[in-house]
C-alpha cells in the first residue's frame, strides 16, 4: 500500500509480533493451554488463507473446503496407522491426495456457477465425509488416534510443542506470501478478473476455466497441508473435521476477517476461535450468541475486520485500490 | 421379490419425503433468489413441535397439524426479521447469514428441549401393516406418508399452476420488480412463500420423527440430500425437484440394500464388506456428477416451474 501507514497495517504487524513471541509468553507463564490453542488457530488460519484464495480473490464460493482438511489429515493418520511415520512420505501423500481430489471436484464443479457451485462443492465434500466415515479399518465414525507424529530429520521434532508451533507459523506465513505473490502475478490478475467478469475475461481470450481450475487445485493442496498439520496437532483424525459445518466455519473465518485481503483470514481465524473460547467461558449456550453475531456481521460489516480497520484512521484518503491491495 | 417391492416402496417414500424439503428450498430460491441453509433447522423445529404437541394434546392428528402451523409461523417470523434483509444480496451473504441461523436454532432447541433427543410414539392405528398385494404387506405409517406427500405434491401443483396466488408466485419468480410495480404486495407474498416452504420442511421433519429420534442437528444431514436434489432437478423448478427426489430416493434406498450383494459377486467378501458402505453413500453424488456432466443446469432448468 505504497508505504502509507494505516491502522490495519499496525494491527497486522502487532498480531504477527504477538504470534512470534507467544511461545516465550507461554514458557514464562507456564501457560501450555494458550500455546495449544494458538497452534490450532494458526493451522486453521492456514486453511482459511487457502480458502480466501478461491473465495476472496477468485469469487469461487466453495462450501466444501473442510474436505481437504480431512483428506490431508487422514493421509497422515492412515499412513501412521499402517506404520509409515516419516513426514517425507506422509506429507507429499497428503498434498497429492488433496490436489487430486481438488482436481476432480473442481473439474466437475467449475462447469457450473453461482448457487450450483456452492451446493455441488458442498455435496462432494459430504461425499468424501461419508466415504471416510465408512472406512471401518480406520475407525469409521469414531476416528483414528495417531500414535506418533510425523518424523522429519534430526533437530526437527514435531512432538515438541514450541518447535511444532513455529513450524506451523512458518508454514502459515509462507502460505500468505505465496498467496500474495500469486494474486499479484499475471495469473492472479486473471483470477481476479474472472471474479469481476468471467464473460469479459473469456472475450479477452483467457481460458478462464483452466485458470480457475489451477487456482482451485492450489487452494485445495494448501488446505491439505493444513489438514496434515491439524492431524499432528490433535494426534487424532475423525470424519468430524470434514463435516460440512466445518467448511462453514472456514467461510466464517474468511468473511469475518475480510475477503480478498492477505491478512483477512488470519484476523478471522484469531477472532472466531478467540470468540468461541470467550463465549464458551461465559455460557454453555454460546452458539446462541455467535449465530446472531454472524448475522450482524453479514448485514452491517461486509468488509469484515480488515474492512473495519481500513476505515479507521485519518491517513486514508480515498477508497481506490482497496479491493485489490494486499 | 417381496423384499424388492418393499424396498421400492421405501425408495418412493423416502424420495417423496425429500421432495417436501427440496420443494421448499427450490421455491424459496426460485422466487426470492435466496439460498437457505437453515431449511434443515425448520425440519428439526417441525419434528420438535410435533413431538411436543402430540404429547400435550394426546392426539396424533391434532398435534401434527398444530406443529405444521407452528412451523409456518416460525418461518414467517424468520422471514420478516432476517430473510427480508437478505434479498438482492450476494449468495455468500445468504450462506453465512443462514449458517448463523443454524447455530442459533440448534442452540435454541438445546436450551428449550435439552440436549437429549425426544421420541414420538405412533398411535396404534398407524402401527399396523397393510396387505397391499397378495403376500406383500407394508407398514401403514409409511403408506400413509406416501399418501400425505403425494397429496401435498398435488396441492403444490394446483396452488402454483391453477390459483391466483400461484400466478403471482410465478410472476414474482420471473420479474419481481414488475410484479411489485403492478401493485401486488410482494413483501407479503414473499413472507407467505417462505412460510409455505418452512411448513413443508416442518411436515417432512414431523413425519420422520416417529421413525428416527428427534434430535439436535437432525436436519443437517438430510438437508444436503435436499440440496443434491435441487441441483439435479434444476434450481427453482418444483417439477424438477419432484423427479429428482424420487430418483434420489430410489438410488439411495436400492443402493444401500443391493449394492453389498452385487459387489460380492465381483469382489471377495472382505473387500465387498469394506467397499459397500462407502460406495453406497457415494451413489447419489455420482448420480449428481453424471447429471451435471450431461446438463450443468440440472434436468429441468429454470422456466419449467
How many angstroms separate the first and last alpha carbons of chain B?
37
When comparing pLDDT for A231 and A322, which is higher?
Answer: A231
Chain B residues close to A120, C-beta within 8 Å? 231, 288, 292
Look at residue B192 and tell me if it is in a domain: yes
Greatest Cα-to-Cα distance within chain A, rounded to the nearest angstrom: 60
Contact A47, A266 (CB under 8 A): no
Whether the per-residue pLDDT at A53 is higher than 60: the answer is yes
Residue A111 contacts B, CB cutoff 8 Å = yes
Exposed / middle / buried, residue A240 (Cβ in 10 Å: 0-12, 13-18, 19+): middle
Question: In the prediction, which pLDDT does A325 show?
Answer: 44
3-state secondary structure of A314: coil
B224:A122 CB<8 A: yes
Candidates B102, B108, B141; CA nearest to B123 is: B141
Question: In percent, how much of chain A has pLDDT > 70?
Answer: 94
Strand-pair partners of B131: B137
DSSP codes of every residue in B60-76: HHHHHHHHHHHHHHHHH
How far does the CA of residue A171 sit from the closest CA of chain B (Å)? 28
Candidates B181, B222, B300, B230; CA nearest to B27 is: B230
Look at residue B174 and tell me if it is in a domain: yes
Name, in order, each residue with C-beta under 8 angstroms of A83's C-beta and a sequence gap of 6 or more: none
For B34, nearest residue in chain A (alpha carbons)? A115
Strand-pair partners of A157: A151
C-alpha to C-alpha distance for A288 and A152, rounded to whole angstroms? 43
3-state secondary structure of B59: coil
Whether the per-residue pLDDT at A323 is higher than 60: the answer is no
Nearest to B220 among A112, A245, A291 (CB): A245
B85:A127 CB<8 A: no
Rg (CA), chain B: 20
Residue A300 contacts B, CB cutoff 8 Å = no
Domain that holds residue B157: 8-216
Chain A residues close to B92, C-beta within 8 Å? 55, 61, 251, 255
Candidates A308, A310, A304; CA nearest to A322 is: A310
Span A110-114, average pLDDT: 85
How far does the CA of residue B24 sit from the closest CA of chain A (Å)? 16
Residue A288 contacts B, CB cutoff 8 Å = yes
C-alpha to C-alpha distance for A151 and A163, rounded to whole angstroms? 13
- CA-angle at A179, arms to A176 and A183, nearest 5°: 145
Residue A282 contacts B, CB cutoff 8 Å = no
How many angstroms separate the first and last alpha carbons of chain A?
7
C-alpha to C-alpha distance for A192 and A58, rounded to whole angstroms? 5
Whether the per-residue pLDDT at A169 is higher than 60: the answer is yes
C-alpha to C-alpha distance for B20 and B243, rounded to whole angstroms? 12
C-alpha to C-alpha distance for A95 and A226, rounded to whole angstroms? 10
Q: How many beta-carbon pairs under 8 angstroms link A with B?
A: 125
Nearest to A291 among B101, B235, B281 (CB): B101
Nearest to B274 among A108, A116, A137 (CB): A137
Residue A63 contacts B, CB cutoff 8 Å = yes
- CA distance to A221, B66, B161, B169, B237, per residue, from B197 (Å): 39, 16, 17, 13, 14
Question: DSSP E strands: which ranges in chain B?
Answer: 129-133, 136-139
3-state secondary structure of A19: helix
B96:A120 CB<8 A: no
Name, in order, each residue with C-beta under 8 angstroms of A178's C-beta and a sequence gap of 6 or more: A222
- CA distance to A132, B24, B73, per residue, from B91 (Å): 29, 17, 25
- Total number of domains in chain B: 1
Look at residue B298 and tell me if it is in a domain: no
Contact A305, A292 (CB under 8 A): no
Chain A residues close to B95, C-beta within 8 Å? 61, 63, 118, 248, 251
How far does the CA of residue A66 sit from the closest CA of chain B (Å)? 15
A108:B292 CB<8 A: yes
Question: In the prediction, which pLDDT does B127 show?
Answer: 83
Chain A residues close to B37, C-beta within 8 Å? 248
For A110, nearest residue in chain B (alpha carbons)? B296
C-alpha to C-alpha distance for A215 and A99, rounded to whole angstroms? 11
Domain residue limits, chain A: 7-311
Tens of pLDDT along chain B (305 residues)?
A: 788 888 888 899 999 999 999 999 988 888 888 889 999 999 999 999 999 999 999 899 999 999 999 999 999 999 999 998 988 888 888 988 999 999 999 999 999 998 888 888 888 888 888 887 777 788 888 889 999 999 999 999 899 889 998 888 888 777 878 888 888 888 888 899 999 999 999 999 999 998 888 988 888 888 889 989 998 998 878 889 999 999 999 998 888 888 878 887 777 777 777 777 777 778 888 888 888 878 888 888 654 33
Look at residue B291 and tell me if it is in a domain: no
How far does the CA of residue B224 sit from the closest CA of chain A (Å)? 6
A294:B285 CB<8 A: no
Reported as half-sphere exposure (CB side, CA atoms, 13 A), residue B79 has a value of: 23
When scoring B256, B285, B291 by the number of chain A Cβ atoms within 10 A, the one with the most, hence best to mutate, is B285
A295:B97 CB<8 A: yes
Span A214-241, average pLDDT: 95
- Cα A53 from chain centroid? 9
C-alpha to C-alpha distance for A236 and A227, rounded to whole angstroms? 11
Contact B95, A61 (CB under 8 A): yes
Nearest to A287 among B103, B227, B281 (CB): B103
Contact A92, A260 (CB under 8 A): no
Look at residue B60 and tell me if it is in a domain: yes
B96:A255 CB<8 A: yes
When comparing pLDDT for B301 and A283, which is higher?
Answer: A283
Residue A130 contacts B, CB cutoff 8 Å = yes
Rg (CA), chain A: 20
Overall pTM surpassing 0.90 (yes/no): no
Question: In the prediction, which pLDDT does A4 show?
Answer: 56
Residue A110 contacts B, CB cutoff 8 Å = no
Q: What fold is seen in the domain A7-311?
A: ABC transporter involved in vitamin B12 uptake, BtuC (1.10.3470)
C-alpha to C-alpha distance for B77 and B86, rounded to whole angstroms? 14
Greatest Cα-to-Cα distance within chain B, rounded to the nearest angstrom: 68
A288:B111 CB<8 A: yes
Look at residue B234 and tell me if it is in a domain: no
Residue A320 banded pLDDT, cuts 50, 70, 90: very low
Chain A residues close to B82, C-beta within 8 Å? 295
Residue A159 contacts B, CB cutoff 8 Å = no
Strand-pair partners of A237: A144
C-alpha to C-alpha distance for B191 and B80, rounded to whole angstroms? 7
A112:B292 CB<8 A: yes
Question: In the prediction, which pLDDT does B302 show?
Answer: 56
Span A263-292, average pLDDT: 89
3-state helix, strand, coil in chain A (%, to 5): 75, 0, 25
How far does the CA of residue B246 sit from the closest CA of chain A (Å)? 18
Candidates A322, A113, A119, A109; CA nearest to A198 is: A113
Whether the per-residue pLDDT at A209 is higher than 70: the answer is yes
Name, in order, each residue with C-beta under 8 angstroms of A137's C-beta and a sequence gap of 6 or more: B274
Amino acid at each position: 500500500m505504497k508505504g502509507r501507514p494505516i491502522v490495519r497495517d499496525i494491527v497486522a504487524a502487532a498480531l504477527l509480533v504477538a504470534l512470534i513471541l507467544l511461545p516465550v509468553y507461554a514458557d514464562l507463564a507456564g501457560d501450555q493451554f494458550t500455546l495449544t490453542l494458538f497452534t490450532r488457530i494458526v493451522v486453521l488460519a492456514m486453511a482459511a488463507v487457502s480458502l480466501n484464495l478461491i473465495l476472496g480473490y477468485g469469487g469461487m464460493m466453495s462450501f466444501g473446503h473442510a474436505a481437504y482438511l480431512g483428506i490431508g489429515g487422514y493421509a497422515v493418520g492412515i499412513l501412521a496407522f499402517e506404520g509409515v511415520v516419516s513426514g517425507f512420505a506422509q506429507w507429499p501423500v497428503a498434498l497429492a491426495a488433496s490436489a487430486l481430489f481438488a482436481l476432480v471436484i473442481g473439474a466437475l464443479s467449475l462447469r457450473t456457477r453461482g448457487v450450483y457451485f456452492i451446493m455441488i462443492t458442498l455435496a462432494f465434500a459430504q461425499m468424501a465425509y461419508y466415504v471416510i466415515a465408512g472406512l471401518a479399518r480406520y475407525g469409521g465414525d469414531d476416528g483414528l488416534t495417531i500414535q506418533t507424529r510425523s518424523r522429519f530429520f534430526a533437530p526437527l521434532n514435531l512432538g515438541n510443542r514450541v518447535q511444532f508451533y513455529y513450524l506451523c507459523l512458518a508454514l502459515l506465513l509462507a502460505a500468505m506470501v505465496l498467496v500474495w505473490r500469486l494474486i499479484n502475478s499475471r495469473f492472479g490478475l486473471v483470477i481476479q478478473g474472472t471474479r469481476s467478469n468471467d464473460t469479459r475475461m473469456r472475450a479477452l481470450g483467457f481460458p478462464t476455466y483452466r485458470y480457475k481450475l489451477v487456482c482451485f487445485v492450489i487452494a485445495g493442496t494448501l488446505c491439505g497441508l493444513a489438514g496434515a498439520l491439524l492431524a499432528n496437532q490433535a494426534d487424532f483424525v475423525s470424519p468430524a473435521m470434514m463435516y460440512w459445518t466445518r467448511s462453514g466455519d472456514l467461510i466464517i473465518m474468511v468473511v469475518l476477517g475480510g475477503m480478498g485481503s492477505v491478512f483477512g483470514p488470519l484476523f478471522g481465524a484469531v477472532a472466531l476461535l478467540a470468540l468461541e473460547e470467550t463465549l464458551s467461558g461465559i455460557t454453555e449456550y454460546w452458539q446462541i450468541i455467535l449465530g446472531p453475531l454472524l448475522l450482524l456481521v453479514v448485514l452491517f460489516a461486509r468488509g469484515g475486520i480488515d474492512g473495519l480497520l481500513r476505515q479507521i484512521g485519518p491517513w486514508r484518503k480515498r477508497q481506490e485500490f482497496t479491493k485489490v491491495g494486499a | 421379490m417381496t423384499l424388492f417391492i418393499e424396498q421400492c416402496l421405501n425408495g418412493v417414500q423416502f424420495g417423496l419425503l425429500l421432495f417436501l424439503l427440496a420443494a421448499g428450498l427450490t421455491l424459496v430460491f426460485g422466487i426470492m433468489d435466496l439460498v437457505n441453509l437453515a431449511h434443515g433447522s425448520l425440519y428439526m423445529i417441525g419434528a420438535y413441535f410435533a413431538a411436543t404437541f402430540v404429547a400435550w394434546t394426546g392426539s396424533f392428528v391434532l398435534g401434527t397439524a398444530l406443529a405444521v402451523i407452528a412451523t409456518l409461523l416460525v418461518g414467517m417470523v424468520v422471514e420478516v426479521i432476517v430473510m427480508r434483509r437478505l434479498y438482492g444480496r450476494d449468495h455468500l451473504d445468504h450462506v453465512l447469514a443462514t449458517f448463523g441461523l443454524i447455530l442459533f436454532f440448534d442452540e435454541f432447541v438445546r436450551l428449550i428441549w435439552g440436549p437429549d433427543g425426544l421420541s414420538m410414539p405412533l398411535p396404534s392405528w398407524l402401527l399396523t401393516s397393510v396387505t397391499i398385494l397378495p403376500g406383500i404387506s407394508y407398514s401403514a405409517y409409511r403408506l400413509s406418508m406416501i399418501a400425505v406427500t403425494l397429496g401435498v405434491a398435488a396441492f403444490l401443483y394446483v396452488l402454483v399452476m391453477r390459483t391466483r396466488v400461484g400466478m403471482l408466485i410465478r410472476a414474482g419468480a420471473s420479474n419481481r420488480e414488475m410484479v411489485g410495480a403492478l401493485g401486488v404486495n410482494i413483501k407479503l407474498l414473499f413472507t407467505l412463500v417462505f412460510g409455505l416452504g418452512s411448513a413443508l420442511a416442518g411436515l417432512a421433519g414431523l413425519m420422520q420423527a416417529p421413525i428416527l429420534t428427534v434430535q439436535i442437528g437432525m436436519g443437517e444431514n438430510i438437508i444436503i440430500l435436499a440440496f443434491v436434489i435441487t441441483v439435479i432437478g434444476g434450481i427453482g423448478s418444483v417439477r424438477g425437484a419432484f423427479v429428482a427426489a424420487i430418483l434420489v430416493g430410489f438410488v439411495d434406498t436400492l443402493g444401500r440394500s443391493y449394492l453389498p450383494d452385487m459387489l460380492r459377486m465381483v469382489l471377495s467378501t472382505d473387500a465387498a464388506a469394506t467397499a459397500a458402505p462407502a460406495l453406497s453413500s457415494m451413489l447419489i453424488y455420482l448420480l449428481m456428477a453424471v447429471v451435471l456432466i450431461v446438463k450443468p443446469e440440472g434436468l429441468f432448468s429454470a422456466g419449467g416451474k
